[in-house]
Amino acid sequence: MRKLRRVTRLPLHQRFARGYQAGLVVAVIVSAFVWYSTQSGLDSIETETEQARGVADLVEDLRISADVLASISNSPRSLSSRSDLKRVVDDLSSEWDARLGDIEALPDGVVAELSGSQGLSATLEHWIDDASAMADAGSGGVAALSEVDVSKASRLENDATELADRMNFVVNVFESRADQTITDMRWSSSASAVFALAFLFLLVGMLLRPLKRLMQRESAALEAANQTHRAESERQELTSHLADGLEAAESEDETHRVVERAFERLIPSAPVELMLASAAKADLASAVQHPRHGGPGCGVDSPWSCPAVRRGRTMTYENSESINACPHLAGRPGGACSATCVPLSFMGESMGVIHTTGAVDVVADSAIVDVLGLVASQVAVRIGTLRSFAQVELQASTDVLTGLPNRRATEDQLERALRKQDTVSVAMADLDGFKQLNDKYGQETGDRVLRIFADSIRDALRADDWIGRWGGEEFVIVLPGMAAGSAKEALDRVRDRLADAWARAEAPAVTVSMGLVDTDAGRRGDELVRLADEALLVAKTQGRDRVVIGPVVAPLPGVDHGDDADREFEEMWTAAEVDS
């Protein structure tokens, strides 16, 4: 029993090998035993058949002897006839002695068939004795056969003929039986061999059946593993391609195009969309839809109105009309549907959701949901990173007080405008009397005045125009594609709107002076700013609250313009610098 338990604990392929070897050994042993038994039986039957044929030959000789005896009895009675009879009987007796062993080896049933109630040996011996007595009768002086001898010879002839016929019949029967037995034994041998092979095949089949099931299970497991491997490979490939595409995206718009291509590959036959929250996290809107099937549409208008975003995990709904379904799924024009919602989050903050729908009770499979989760995580990281960089860059390039770009950002913008446009106007603006305002009303009022000025002038300019805080109460305005004349008209309108802003804000009214130049005066940004600053000083000396187009002509060192002219210009310039 322990050995059996040890065997059953073996792996199935080892059990199959051992069972196959055992079955093969058993089949070989059975086949060898059947072959040996059959061959031994065939040899025995063939021996007995040969013996029976020998006895048949003996009886045939007896019949021939009886024929000779009959012919002698019918011949003239002479001594030579008795001599011939003596010779025949002696030959028959010698042959009988030689065949006695074959007769004794015959089965009892065969002997009984040959001689009836008497033994075959006794019958033949009695016949030979009678024939010998007839042959020896001549020794008494009687040369010819008597009537009694003739009668006895005739009787012996009949007995010999009957005995020979009976023996031939029995031998024929015996040969027929032997042949049938041999045929049966050969069939039995073939059947035994077939049985042995069938037993072997049955044993192998019985062993192969669990092996087949095992191979089927292992094949199914291998196929499942291959499918999992292929899915994982495709997922890794998609992850790599998506990561490369998102990394190459330098803006949210480029990120949206990468997500659109990913949607087309992942979900080829269903609507899907990416809904993103704004930077302020106040609203939620569709940002990317499937390029062919569009988006399923969602009534959620804020991040916290979405259950998936609120719970921070993927939500799957088999039927939009179910009790536990998202309320924003119910009552859709297309009827009930299934839905899958995968939230996006970055550094603990919710950024949006990927939303897809399908037929009722036909939700996206787990592989699709996993890949959508992967897309959501990578997109959230990329967009969150872009927004973080934009925030940092904005903070680095924005004046905290006014919200306008600072001096460095303004210089960069001016250089970009000069590279893109042939005509660019640059204005330097300064609030008149700002230092006195600060001294009179305090710094808080001064800061408020700066913010009002920044908001008013920003709203009055075009979308392509640029205004930045240069420092203190000075501002630089860049007007791409506009010459100085047109720029002056636009800046005058800005000054008029600024006066209305002071009235609405109930703040101290402050005027602004501006110096203006365009690219006719130079092509370098620092040069244009310097010339605009000189024009601003001229605007200050001319009474403030005005726009002066430069470049202005200042006294050149070493050139005599007259003492009065030089003194007057220097006084104006000094007064403007002090006021600034």
How crowded is residue 319: how many other Cβ atoms within 10 Å of its Cβ? 16
Question: In which band, very low, low, confident or very high, does the pLDDT at 536 lie, cut at 50, 70 and 90?
Answer: very high
Question: Quick one: what percent of the chain has pLDDT higher than 70?
Answer: 61
Tokens of 19: 């069972």
Residue 229 and residue 227: Cα distance in Å, rounded?
5
- The predicted model gives 394-420 an average pLDDT of 85
pLDDT of residue 404 exceeding 80: yes
Q: Which residue has the tokens 């499937």?
A: 290
Tokens 């291509």 correspond to: 261
Hey, CA dihedral for 197, 200, 205, 211, is it positive or negative?
Answer: negative
Q: DSSP assignment, residue 553?
A: P
Please report where in the chains the tokens 């970009």 appear, as a residue: 416
CB contact set of 180 (below 8 Å; sequence gap of 6+): none
Q: What are the angstrom distances between the C-alpha of 236 and each of 130, 229, 544, 567?
A: 116, 10, 68, 79
Could you tell me the pLDDT band of residue 374, with boundaries at 50, 70 and 90? confident
**Which is nearest to 403 in space by CA: 455, 358, 447, 366?**
455
Q: Which residues contact 150 (CB under 8 A, 6 or more apart)?
A: 73, 74
Lowest mean pLDDT among 142-151, 253-262, 380-389: 142-151
Could you give the C-alpha distances from 307 to 48, 316, 578, in angstroms and in order? 103, 11, 63
Q: What is the mean pLDDT of residues 227-241?
A: 78
> What pairs with residue 476 in β-bridges?
428, 468
Query: Residues near 66 by Cβ (< 8 Å), separated by ≥ 6?
Result: 156, 157, 158, 159, 160, 161, 164
Strand partners, 180: none
For 126-178, what is each residue's pLDDT tens digit? Answer: 666 776 776 666 544 444 556 666 666 666 667 666 666 666 666 676 667 66
What residues have CB less than 8 Å from 127, skipping those under 6 apart?
62, 156, 159, 160, 163
pLDDT tens-digit map of 166-216: 666 666 766 676 676 667 666 766 766 676 677 666 666 666 666 667 777
Give the whole-angstrom CA distance, residue 339 versus residue 580: 65
The alpha carbons of the chain give a radius of gyration, in whole angstroms, of: 65
Tokens of 419: 């590279």
Q: Helices then strands (H, E): number in the chain?
A: 15, 10
State residue 322 phi and psi, 5-degree precision.
Answer: -70, 160
* Amino acid identity at 14: Q
Identify the band that residue 477 occupies on the pLDDT scale cut at 50, 70 and 90: very high
Using DSSP, state whether 62 is helix, strand or coil: helix
Counting Cα atoms < 13 Å in the Cβ hemisphere of 94 gives: 6
Stretch among 377-381, 396-400, 474-478 having the lowest mean pLDDT = 396-400
Neighbours of 245 (CB within 10 A): 18
538-568: pLDDT as tens digits: 999 888 888 999 887 654 344 344 444 444 4
Asked if residue 7 has pLDDT above 50, the reply is no
* pLDDT: which is higher, 567 or 333: 333
**pLDDT band at 261, cuts 50/70/90?**
confident
Using alpha carbons, select from 135, 170, 163 the residue that is nearest to residue 63.
163
Instruction: With CA atoms as reference, report the closest residue to 336 among 320, 323, 322, 325.
Output: 320
Cα–Cα distance measured from residue 338 to residue 317, given in angstroms and rounded to the nearest whole number: 5
**Strands 284-289 and 424-431, sheet pairing:** unpaired
Q: How confident is the model at residue 580 (pLDDT cuts 50, 70, 90)?
A: very low
What pLDDT, on a 0 to 100 scale, did the predictor assign at position 534? 92
Give the distance, in angstroms, between the CA of residue 74 and the centroid of all CA atoms in the same chain: 110
Taking all residues of the chain, what is their mean pLDDT, rounded to a whole number? 75
Q: Residue 23: what pLDDT?
A: 65
Q: Is the pLDDT confidence value at 64 over 80?
A: no
The type of residue at 248 is A
| Residue 352: strand pairing partners | 276, 344
Q: Provide the pLDDT for residue 556.
A: 37
Has residue 453 got a pLDDT over 60? Answer: yes
For the cut 60, the answer to whether the pLDDT of residue 569 exceeds it is no
**95-131: pLDDT as tens digits:** 666 666 656 555 555 555 554 434 555 666 666 677 6
Residue-range domains of the chain with CATH: 2-212 (1.20.58), 251-396 (3.30.450.40), 398-579 (3.30.70.270)
Asked if the model's pLDDT at residue 476 lies above 90, the reply is yes
pLDDT at 46 over 60: yes
Q: Which residue has the tokens 């392509």?
A: 464
Rounded to the nearest 5°, which phi and psi values hold at 116? Answer: 65, -125
Residue 532's pLDDT is what? 92
Q: How many CB atoms lie within 10 A of CB 326?
A: 20
Q: How many residues does the chain have?
A: 580
Asked which of 7-11, 243-247, 413-417, 503-507 is least confident by mean pLDDT, the reply is 7-11
| 203-217, 225-239, 520-534: the lowest-pLDDT one | 203-217
In this predicted model, which residue has the larger pLDDT, 365 or 112?
A: 365
Q: How far is CA 149 from CA 79, 166, 186, in A?
A: 13, 25, 53
Query: What does the block give as tokens for 467?
Result: 């205004």
CA torsion, ordered 40, 174, 60, 120, to nearest 10 deg: 90
pLDDT in tens, 22-38: 766 766 776 677 667 76
Q: What is the C-alpha to C-alpha distance for residues 259 and 251, in angstroms, rounded to an integer?
A: 13
Taking the C-alpha atoms of residue 196 and residue 32, their distance in angstroms, rounded to an integer, is 10
> What's the confidence (pLDDT) of residue 19?
64
